[in-house]
Amino acid sequence: MASKNTVFRLNSRQGIVDLAKAEEDIPKAAAYEVLIKIHSVALNYRDVAIATSHYPFPVKDNLIPLSDAAGEIVEIGTNVQGFTVGDWVIANFNSANLYGPMKDWTGGLGGPVDGVLRNYLSINANTVIKVPKESSLKASQWASLVCTGTTAWNALYGNVPLKPGQTVLFQGTGGVSITGLVLAKAAGAKTIITSSSDEKLAYVKKKFGADHTINYKTHPEWAKEVQKITQGNGVDYIFENGGSGTIQQSVESIAFGGVIAIIGFLSSAKQEEMPNVAGLALSKGCVIRGINVGSKQLLEECVRFVGSHNLDIPVEKTFPFTEEGVKAAYKYLSEGQHVGKVCIDLE
Ligand SMILES: NC(=O)c1ccc[n+]([C@@H]2O[C@H](COP(=O)([O-])OP(=O)(O)OC[C@H]3O[C@@H](n4cnc5c(N)ncnc54)[C@H](OP(=O)(O)O)[C@@H]3O)[C@@H](O)[C@H]2O)c1
């Protein structure tokens, strides 16, 4: 075991230049904790929003950022049962949310609580999940399930569960959308994905088998395209990543009784153009449902599904765990050129 814990902290939150590397003591696993040697971490749009002070929820000072890690147990607290040194594990996004809805904003790793951009993490064993060692998935792929996988699983199964043959629409080609697309296809759903880029759409169709694609820049009223594709039936599920700026098109795209999962806040409507969401929901009898990542129970279900299907979770690019590598990973994600997940490998 190394003698020190290499850790990155955000000393202020004016941008990724504020990420500072430090050598700290390796924590001990307390009685109910396990000590995890981290092998890979995954980035989310949230991490860029936090680093640039655009995140609308609580963030602690001098934060160790990032929420998603996969690694190996190297030490076990005296009162912990069910784990062995050498187990491959991930930890839930919010340690306080083991089942059911999240109760407050105080528990998310890499926000109100120190996160995972470090070599070693000591954490309550209750929040930790084993991942199958025998699968062919890399640590970066397991790490990607923590926030993104749980969010996508929650959108598909957290309310009215997806059924084979139903149609799911994904806004944009970021981590949540592409991971959701991989999960939905494996569950026998039809898929439609939107993007601002024809190149990205062609790539997603070829690599991930999206059934239909729509460019939301060249088709600002993309709901019309959705209605053409679905012969006027609409889609059963939507991953709403835009927010108030795209919800009108989403409701015009949804089937009667469908589920719109409100996930992102990438496109805001002007105050004077704010849509009447209550009226829109009524017009389609649809569910418009906010998603707060999800519980450990949802992550466990997602891990079981991914493990049993050996699903190739879409990690587009990995960076090294150096000062340059970490900053380059943040920059790459913030530039929005990626399709799928961006990760940092420590091992
Ligand atoms: N609620 C939750 O629990 C939860 C959990 C995870 C993430 N999120 C949020 O979900 C959103 C996506 O996260 P992510 O990690 O997937 O982000 P990401 O990997 O950075 O992907 C963002 C992608 O969204 C697309 N996009 C941007 N503006 C859009 C618009 N007006 N309409 C449609 N698509 C648009 C872009 O796709 P193209 O380049 O293809 O156009 C962009 O590449 C973020 O707002 C994030 O904060 C929420």
Element (H, E) at 98: none
The answer to whether the CB of 277 falls within 8 A of the CB of 246 is no
| 300 has a pLDDT exceeding 80 | yes
169 lines ligand 1 (CB under 6 A): no
Q: How far apart are CA 294 and CA 102, in angstroms?
A: 7
- Ranges of beta strands (E only) in 125-196 are 128-130, 167-171, 190-195
What residue spans define the domains of the chain? 5-144+315-345, 150-290
Give the pTM: 0.97
pLDDT digits (tens, 9 = 90+) for 32-41: 999 999 999 9
pLDDT digits (tens, 9 = 90+) for 326-346: 999 999 999 998 999 999 999
Identify the CATH homologous superfamily for domain 5-144+315-345: Medium-chain alcohol dehydrogenases, catalytic domain (3.90.180.10)
Q: Look up residue 3 and give its amino acid.
A: S
pLDDT for the residue numbered 326: 97
pLDDT digits (tens, 9 = 90+) for 206-253: 999 999 999 999 999 999 999 999 999 999 999 999 999 999 999 999
pLDDT digits (tens, 9 = 90+) for 85-144: 999 999 999 999 999 999 998 999 999 999 999 999 999 999 999 999 888 999 999 999
149 lines ligand 1 (CB under 6 A): no
275 lines ligand 1 (CB under 6 A): no
For residue 38, give the nearest of 74, 8, 62 by alpha carbon. Answer: 74
Q: How far is the CA of 67 from the centre of ligand 1 (A)?
A: 17
pLDDT for the residue numbered 14: 86
Residue with tokens 């039936």: 233
Q: Please compute the mean of the pLDDT values over residues 20-43 and round it to a whole number.
A: 97
Q: How far is the CA of 184 from the centre of ligand 1 (A)?
A: 17
330 lines ligand 1 (CB under 6 A): no
293 lines ligand 1 (CB under 6 A): yes
pLDDT for the residue numbered 223: 98
154 lines ligand 1 (CB under 6 A): no
Q: How far apart are CA 87 and CA 106, in angstroms?
A: 28
| 69 has a pLDDT exceeding 90 | yes
Instruction: Give, using CA atoms, the residue closest to atom 21 of ligand 1.
Output: 174
Q: How far apart are CA 282 and CA 326, in angstroms?
A: 46
Element (H, E) at 338: none
Confidence of residue 13 (pLDDT cuts 50, 70, 90): confident
| 301 has a pLDDT exceeding 80 | yes
pLDDT for the residue numbered 2: 82
For residue 60, give the nearest of 21, 127, 112 by alpha carbon. Answer: 112
Give the CA distances from residue 140 to residues 2, 47, 214, 286, in Å, rounded to whole numbers and listed in that order.
21, 16, 29, 36
Q: Quick one: which atom of ligand 1 is closest to the CA of 178?
A: 16
pLDDT for the residue numbered 15: 84
| Structure tokens that stand for 135 in this block | 């699968």
Q: How far is the CA of 9 from the centre of ligand 1 (A)?
A: 24
Instruction: Give, using CA atoms, the residue closest to atom 37 of ligand 1.
Output: 172
| 11 has a pLDDT exceeding 90 | no
Per cent of the chain over pLDDT 70 is 100
Q: Poorest-confidence range of 11-15, 29-33, 39-43, 164-168? A: 11-15
Residue with tokens 């493990």: 307
147 lines ligand 1 (CB under 6 A): yes
Instruction: Give, using CA atoms, the residue closest to atom 26 of ligand 1.
Output: 172
Give the CA distances from residue 167 to residues 76, 107, 185, 242, in Å, rounded to whole numbers and listed in that order.
44, 33, 10, 19
Q: What is the mean pLDDT of the chain?
A: 96
pLDDT for the residue numbered 1: 75
Confidence of residue 12 (pLDDT cuts 50, 70, 90): confident
Q: Quick one: which atom of ligand 1 is closest to the CA of 245?
A: 31
Backbone dihedral region for residue 209 (phi beyond 0: left; psi -120 to 50: alpha; all else: beta) = left
CATH class of 150-290: alpha beta
174 lines ligand 1 (CB under 6 A): yes
Confidence of residue 17 (pLDDT cuts 50, 70, 90): confident
pLDDT for the residue numbered 33: 98
CA angle at 152 for the pair 149 and 153, rounded to the nearest 5°: 80
| 79 has a pLDDT exceeding 80 | yes
For residue 124, give the nearest of 59, 31, 42, 40 by alpha carbon. Answer: 31
| Structure tokens that stand for 61 in this block | 């000072």
Mutate which of 266, 330, 337 for ligand 1 pocket (most atoms within 8 A of beta carbon): 266
105 lines ligand 1 (CB under 6 A): no
| Structure tokens that stand for 347 in this block | 């091992």
- The DSSP-derived string for 36-99 is EEEEEEE--HHHHHHHTT---S---TTB----EEEEEEEEE-TT--S--TT-EEEE-SBTT-SS
Q: How far apart are CA 93 and CA 142, in angstroms?
A: 13
Mutate which of 109, 150, 176 for ligand 1 pocket (most atoms within 8 A of beta carbon): 176
